[in-house]
């Protein structure tokens, strides 16, 4: 169970303010450092250090992504866990919750171990509200994330999302992104133009901050 100290709940970063991106907060490196704080203390025990990042009390949809990048080479990073929500989360509690969910409870991966920490990279994504697309192609690769919904034969409601950085990182165009979203949602049948035309697609943007383990360690030393 995550233990958050009374100090962590009460302390605010002096002069910090939540900067707006639409209705969301802007992610900064300190949010990534806090995710590392939460993970390290979950693995080692003890209370999480005091919150020292902007935005305490803000409510924002968010995702936390963990990667492995040996020797801090972020260009070679590989996904290690990613979980988030479009329901606005209060900071810092929501960020702490999803930092641990992504690190320890992403069903695609085994839980992160303490021995892996020195190769970890953390990306925090704060999301703008979703808005409906006019059609499945009414979005821009590298600018928007997509949230795809489809009512499959038999009545099953299939949904999937990709954050804005996924399509360019994978080299996907719009069609490939939509098709991969359908597969991610669980559809194993043919993907036709008629099927694509039935999709409800929403788009959103994100503001991200990425920090490496080495940057986190340096920040901890600076905090004293």
The angle, 0 to 180 degrees and rounded to 10, between the axes of the packed helices 93-104 and 29-44 is: 60
DSSP per-residue codes, 8-43: HHH---TT----EETTEEPP-HHHHHHHHHHHHHHH
**CATH number for 84:** 3.30.700.20
212 shares its domain with 199 = no
Check whether 99 has a pLDDT greater than 70.
yes
105 shares its domain with 60 = yes
Tell me if 36 is assigned to some domain.
yes
115 shares its domain with 148 = no
Tell me if 159 is assigned to some domain.
yes
Check whether 5 has a pLDDT greater than 70.
no
Give the up-direction half-sphere exposure of residue 181: CA atoms within 13 A in the CB hemisphere.
Answer: 29
Number of domains making up the chain: 2
According to DSSP, the residues that pair with 150 across neighbouring strands are 158
Please say whether the beta carbons of 9 and 57 come within 8 A.
no
Which H, E and C letters describe 142-193, residue by residue? CCCEEEEEEECCCCCEEEEEECCCHHHHHCCCHHHHHHHHHHHHCCCCCCCH
How far is the CA of 53 from the CAs of 45, 48, 58, 133, 158, in angstroms?
22, 13, 11, 34, 36
Least confident of 45-49, 66-70, 193-197: 45-49
Tell me if 4 is assigned to some domain.
no
Model pLDDT for residues 131-186, shown as the tens digit of each residue? 999 999 999 999 999 999 999 998 899 999 999 999 999 999 999 999 999 999 99
Where residue 108 falls (left for φ over 0; alpha for ψ -120 to 50; beta otherwise) is: alpha
Model pLDDT for residues 41-52, shown as the tens digit of each residue? 999 987 788 888
Helices (H) and strands (E) in the chain, counts: 7, 10
144 shares its domain with 102 = no
Tell me if 192 is assigned to some domain.
yes
| Global pTM exceeds 0.95 | no
How far is the CA of 52 from the CAs of 174, 217, 219, in angstroms?
39, 15, 11
Mean pLDDT of 80-108: 97
36 shares its domain with 118 = yes
Q: What is the pLDDT of residue 49?
A: 80
Least confident of 43-57, 80-94, 210-224: 43-57
20 pLDDT band, cuts 50/70/90, is very low
109 shares its domain with 211 = yes
Q: What is the pLDDT of residue 224?
A: 66
142 shares its domain with 107 = no
214 shares its domain with 121 = yes
Handedness of CA 94, 206, 217, 79 (dihedral sign): positive
Tell me if 2 is assigned to some domain.
no
56 shares its domain with 154 = no
199 shares its domain with 211 = no
45 shares its domain with 137 = no
**CATH number for 173:** 3.30.1490.150
Q: What is the pLDDT of residue 74?
A: 72
Mean pLDDT of 32-59: 91
214 shares its domain with 118 = yes
Q: What domain range includes position 39? A: 29-128+206-222
- How far is it, in rounded angstroms, from Cα 39 to Cα 195? 41
Tell me if 173 is assigned to some domain.
yes
Check whether 4 has a pLDDT greater than 70.
no
Mean pLDDT of 63-91: 91
Tell me if 139 is assigned to some domain.
yes
Tell me if 74 is assigned to some domain.
yes
Q: Which secondary-structure segment (H or E) carries 114? A: none
């Amino acid at each position: 169970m995550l233990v958050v100290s009374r100090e962590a709940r009460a302390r605010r970063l002096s002069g910090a303010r939540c900067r707006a991106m639409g209705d969301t907060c802007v992610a900064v490196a300190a949010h990534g450092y806090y995710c590392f704080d939460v993970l390290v203390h979950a693995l080692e025990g003890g209370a999480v250090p005091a919150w020292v990042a902007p935005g305490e009390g803000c409510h924002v949809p968010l995702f936390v992504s963990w990667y492995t990048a040996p020797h801090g080479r972020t260009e070679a990073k590989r996904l290690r866990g990613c979980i988030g929500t479009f329901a606005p989360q209060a900071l810092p509690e929501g960020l702490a919750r999803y930092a641990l969910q992504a690190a320890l409870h992403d069903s695609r991966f085994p839980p992160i171990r303490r021995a892996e920490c020195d190769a970890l990279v953390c990306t925090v994504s704060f999301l703008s509200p979703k808005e409906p697309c006019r059609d499945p192609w009414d979005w821009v690769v590298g600018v928007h994330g997509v949230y795809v919904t489809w009512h499959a034969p038999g009545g099953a409601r299939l949904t999937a999302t990709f954050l804005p950085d996924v399509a360019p990182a994978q080299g996907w165009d719009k069609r490939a992104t939509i098709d991969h979203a359908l597969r991610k949602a669980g559809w194993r049948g043919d993907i036709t133009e008629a099927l694509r035309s039935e999709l409800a697609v929403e788009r959103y943007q994100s503001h991200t901050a990425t920090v490496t383990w080495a940057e986190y360690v340096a920040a901890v030393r600076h905090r004293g």
